[in-house]
Amino acid sequence: MGDVHRYDVPDTWPTWCPGCGNFGIWHAEKAAFAHMDQAPDTTAIVAGIGCSGNFCYWMNTYMLHSLHGRSIPAAQGVKLANDDLTVIVHAGDGDTYGEGLGHLLHAARRNVDISVFVHDNQVYGLTTGQPSPTSMQGTRWKVAPEGVIASPVTPLPLVLVAGATFVARGFSGQNEHLSTLMEKAIQHKGFSVLDIAQPCVTFNHVNTWKWWNEHVYRLDETNHDPSDYRSAFEKAQEFGDKIPIGVIYETDKPTFNEKYRALNAQTLAHVPIDNVDIRSLMKGHF
Ligand SMILES: Cc1ncc(C[n+]2csc(CCOP(=O)(O)OP(=O)(O)O)c2C)c(N)n1
Ligand code: SF4
């Protein structure tokens, strides 16, 4: 056991609504870090814009609050620049599966060694309750009074096909289990996606705590084998009366940094800059 680390920020408390599922995610991540004895200065949280993105202000790690839909490219940049850091994205379902969907799929096929934790509350929380890509078909919202027409994005089969090497779902209401999944995702070498069922008590009155509690079941209590791609694909699609939580798929493949020769030798953070002449680099730009 090394130093005693502090994972939250002293004298601050999140501004999420009382009862919000984001609290469970916050507690689970602090517990995961404590269990791994992970020093806060070895971790960078890259957040999107949303209630979920504010997460980065209440964690005592390095952080970058990026743009809506753009947290994944920013996180890839951090990892490519400094391979020593554990890089974790925290963003909403609107952010990751809407504007950011292209980035998610392309990061998956590169197998960049970052973890993406999606706070999936099936609604745009911060902008006060519009339907998101994962809102269920037929659900009624103030801007969709006759019900959502489009079928929802099913993110887990998509990332599986795109090449993600770790795919899982957790539930903010099963805190210890979620914390274990976070640890596994962080320790996984390669691109990991953890979709987290996170009730939004203020705007989503369909997928409530009760609703989730009635629907989830644990994969580790079944004979599911996460190394079996076919069975993982089946589990990734399951979203109805029963919704699986746990590790859906895990495999081992070389990461982007390992395959890219220059990055494998040395990432930017380790390149000495003493003799770099900035003026010559900027020549022609002014
Ligand atoms: C480029 C860009 N597009 C749209 C917005 C407006 N916007 C801010 S947060 C948000 C939705 C947030 O929903 P989600 O990503 O699901 O996160 P939540 O608030 O539910 O955690 C939107 C559309 C923005 N700030 N920037
Ligand atoms: S609006 Fe919803 S997601 Fe945002 S803090 Fe409140 S309960 Fe949480």
From CA 180, how far away is CA 99, in angstroms rounded?
A: 29
Give residue 68's pLDDT. Answer: 98
Ligand 2 centroid distance, CA of 31 (Å) = 22
Give residue 285's pLDDT. Answer: 66
Run of H or E residues at 86: strand 86-92
Give residue 276's pLDDT. Answer: 75
Q: Which of 262, 134, 109 is nearest to 204 (CA)?
A: 134
Phi/psi of residue 223, nearest 5 degrees: -100, 25
90 lines ligand 1 (CB under 6 A): no
> String of b and e for 106-144 (b: at least 16 CB within 10 Å)?
ebbebbbbbbbbbbbbbbbbbeebebbbbbeeebebeee
Give residue 278's pLDDT. Answer: 76
Ligand 2 centroid distance, CA of 78 (Å) = 28
Q: Which fold has domain 22-282?
A: Rossmann fold (3.40.50)
71 lines ligand 1 (CB under 6 A): no
> For the chain, what's the residue count?
286
Residues of the chain with pLDDT under 70: 1-2, 285-286
125 lines ligand 2 (CB under 6 A): yes
Condensed to tens digits (0 to 9), the pLDDT of residues 27-71 reads: 999 999 999 999 999 999 999 999 999 999 999 999 999 999 999
C-beta neighbour count of 69 within 10 angstroms: 21
Run of H or E residues at 93: helix 93-94
Measured from the Cα of 16, ligand 2's closest atom is 5
**Residue 194 near residue 185, CB atoms below 8 Å:** yes
Q: Which residue has its alpha carbon closest to ligand 1 atom 1?
A: 68
Run of H or E residues at 65: strand 62-65
**Residue 97 near residue 51, CB atoms below 8 Å:** no
Looking at the DSSP bridge assignments, the partners of residue 92 are 119
Condensed to tens digits (0 to 9), the pLDDT of residues 191-227 reads: 999 999 999 999 999 999 999 999 999 999 999 999 9
Ordered by start, the domain boundaries in the chain are 22-282
- Mean pLDDT (the chain) is 95
pTM score: 0.95
Q: Which residues contact 244 (CB under 8 A, 6 or more apart)?
A: 169, 216, 217, 218, 219, 222, 224, 235, 238
